[in-house]
Amino acid sequence: MKNAFIGKLLPLLRKHWPHPKCEVNHKNPLQLMVGVILSAQSTDKTVNELTPALFKKYPTAKAFAQADPLHVEHMIYRAGFFRAKTKSVMGACRMIVEKFGGEVPRTMEELLELPGIGRKSANVILGASYGIASGIVVDTHMIRLSNRFRLSRLDDPVKIEQELCAIVPKKDWIFFSQSMVLHGRYICQAKTPRCWECHLIKICPYTDKVLSPRIDEKKPPRETITGIPITIRKN
């Protein structure tokens, strides 16, 4: 049943998100690693506003490793938990310099050694930076959608990832991760899912569908914070 649903789900997701991508702006794996550490309990929009100046000041892992912590804290203050995040960023960069030759690792096992990096972050880095399908990214959006689509009844991210990896073809893990996160953020939202815009509505088993927008709703955005068009169902 779940495999059959995934077979129908993937092509419909591609109608919404033919070219999904990670919403943490980055030009290389180091920038993505720093970005995902900063995005914890913050928003990608806020992180994307902070990181251009941060990466100009600290362009390499060595630069971060040798930085003045107080200056880093000042630059990332708006991301929240700035002291802990500074400690994680600098600690991860020191390990990258001292143990990994200055390059962000390319394996799950090595990434998990870095301060501030868990399975979710490691999957994001490996998929978005290296094109390596190491697993499936399970964040709050993936947990919610997996429940609504009856792909999992669990709330433990590691166990949900195991369930999803068993039914989603490995060749689709990166696409599935990126498109489901975007879908949860912009279409299948927590409080009011935008079912009237959703290509998945005919197969979606979620019972509390919202079939029309509020009368006073303004025209919804047609692109993500990184400029990806949001292709909606029109009929």
Structure tokens at 111: 């990434």
Local confidence band at 215 (pLDDT 50, 70, 90 cut-offs): confident
What digits encode the pLDDT tens for the residues 98-131?
Answer: 999 999 999 999 999 999 999 999 999 999 999 9
Can 172 be counted among the known catalytic residues? no
- Tell me how far apart the alpha carbons of residues 94 and 2 are, in angstroms, rounded to a whole number: 43
* pLDDT higher than 90, residue 235: no
User: Any residues with CB less than 8 A from the CB of 151 and at least 6 apart, and which?
Assistant: 2, 5, 6, 145, 163, 164, 167
From the candidates 2, 27, 99, 139, which is the catalytic residue? 139
**Across all residues in the chain, what is the average pLDDT?**
95
* pLDDT higher than 90, residue 169: yes
The 8-class DSSP code of residue 1 comes to: -
Local confidence band at 222 (pLDDT 50, 70, 90 cut-offs): confident
Structure tokens at 194: 């935008």
* pLDDT higher than 90, residue 4: yes
* pLDDT higher than 90, residue 229: no
Percent of the chain at pLDDT above 70? 99
What pLDDT is stored for residue 37 in this prediction? 98
* pLDDT higher than 80, residue 220: no
Local confidence band at 31 (pLDDT 50, 70, 90 cut-offs): very high
Local confidence band at 234 (pLDDT 50, 70, 90 cut-offs): confident
Can 120 be counted among the known catalytic residues? yes
Q: Which residues pair with 223 in a beta bridge?
A: 229
* pLDDT higher than 80, residue 154: yes
Residue pair 119/112 in contact by the 8 Å Cβ criterion: yes
From the candidates 8, 45, 68, 120, which is the catalytic residue? 120
- Tell me how far apart the alpha carbons of residues 59 and 124 are, in angstroms, rounded to a whole number: 20
* pLDDT higher than 90, residue 182: yes
